[in-house]
Amino acid sequence: MQSGFFQILRKKKELIPLIGFMAFAVTGATSASLYFLLTKTDVIINKTGNPEPWERLDPSKPQKLITINQKWKPIEELELVKSLTK
């Protein structure tokens, strides 16, 4: 005996490509989410252990997928405020 799902697929064969595309989309979305969660520094998992996570980011490393002509230099006023608050 086969389950009801496979019986429906045997009767309506036009659903097979739709299910294949949906499975491909779900797999891609899940793998992209896990990739960004585990490899990107701007994704925060533990908010209580690091209340200011932006302090650990490397400003010379681009945080976007595509960065064109990124030039970074420190802003003097912000560096002054940062040194006064610590």
Give the count of alpha carbons within 13 A of 54, CB side only: 1
Q: Which pLDDT score is estimated for 20?
A: 94
**Which one-letter DSSP state was computed for residue 1?**
-
Q: Which pLDDT score is estimated for 19?
A: 93
Closest to 60 (Cα-Cα) out of 70, 50, 48: 70
Per-position pLDDT tens, the chain of length 86: 457 888 888 899 999 999 999 999 999 999 999 998 888 776 777 767 766 767 777 777 766 666 677 677 778 888 888 888 87
Q: Which pLDDT score is estimated for 62?
A: 66
Residue type for position 79: E
pTM for this one? 0.50
Q: What is the dihedral of CA 17, 36, 70, 83, to 10 degrees?
A: 160
